[in-house]
Chain A
Amino acid sequence: MKTTNDLVAQLSAAPGLSGRSLTQIYLMVFFSSSIVLAAFGLVLFELAGASIRSGYFNLVTEPVIALKQLTPLLVAITSVPLGIMLLRPEARLSFKAVPLVVALLILPILAASTLVPLSEDSRSIVMLGDGFYQCLTSIVGLSIGLLAAQILVLRRGAVTQPGGAGAVAGLAAGAIAAIIYAFICTEDSPGFYGLWYSVGIFASGFVGALVGKRFLRW
Chain B
Amino acid sequence: MGRLDEDHISSKMRAALGGDQSAYRNVLETLVPTLRHMARRIAPQTPEDIQEDLVQEILTSIHAKRHTWQQTKPILPWIYAIARHRVIDHLRKEKRSPKTVSDLDDIMDSIAAPNPSVELQHDIEQGIRSLNTQTEAVVRAMAVDGKDAKQAAEELGITENAARIAFHRGLKKLRVFLSDYARERP
**CB-based contact B80/A90 at 8 Å:** yes
Chain B min CB distance to A130 (Å): 47
Residues of A within 8 A of B70 (CB): 21, 88
Residues of B within 8 A of A87 (CB): 68
**CB-based contact A89/B19 at 8 Å:** no
**CB-based contact B52/A22 at 8 Å:** no
Residues of A within 8 A of B53 (CB): 1
Residues of A within 8 A of B29 (CB): 8
**CB-based contact A12/B82 at 8 Å:** no
**CB-based contact B67/A17 at 8 Å:** yes
Q: In A153-199, which residues have CB < 8 Å from any B CB?
A: 156-158, 160
**CB-based contact B59/A7 at 8 Å:** yes
**CB-based contact A12/B28 at 8 Å:** yes
**Size of B's binding interface in residues, CB under 8 A:** 35
**CB-based contact A11/B63 at 8 Å:** yes
Q: A15 interface residue, CB < 8 Å from B?
A: yes
Instruction: Compute how far the CA of A95 lies from the CA of B139 in the bound complex, rounded to whole angstroms.
Output: 51
Chain B min CB distance to A197 (Å): 33
Residues of B within 8 A of A47 (CB): none
Q: A48 interface residue, CB < 8 Å from B?
A: no
Residues of B within 8 A of A89 (CB): 65, 68, 78, 81-82, 85
**CB-based contact A13/B21 at 8 Å:** yes
Residues of A within 8 A of B55 (CB): 4
Q: A131 interface residue, CB < 8 Å from B?
A: no
**CB-based contact A90/B78 at 8 Å:** yes
Residues of B within 8 A of A1 (CB): 49, 53
Closest to B82 in A: A89
Q: In A23-78, which residues have CB < 8 Å from any B CB?
A: none
Given the interface pairs A22-B68, A88-B70, A160-B85, the reply to whether A11 lies near B78 with Cβ below 8 Å is: no
Instruction: Compute how far the CA of A104 lies from the CA of B77 in the bound complex, rounded to whole angstroms.
Output: 30
User: Which interface residue of A16, A160, A218 has the most chain B CB atoms within 10 A?
Assistant: A16
**CB-based contact A16/B17 at 8 Å:** yes
Instruction: Compute how far the CA of A16 lies from the CA of B65 in the bound complex, rounded to whole angstroms.
Output: 13
Residues of A at the B interface (CB closer than 8 Å) are 1-2, 4, 7-9, 11-17, 21-22, 87-90, 156-158, 160, 218
A87-B68, A160-B81, A218-B65 known; 9 new pairs, CB 8 Å cut-off, are A11-B28, A12-B21, A12-B28, A13-B21, A14-B63, A21-B70, A88-B68, A89-B81, A89-B85
Residues of B at the A interface (CB closer than 8 Å) are 16-22, 24-25, 28-29, 32, 49, 52-53, 55-56, 59-61, 63-70, 77-78, 80-82, 84-85
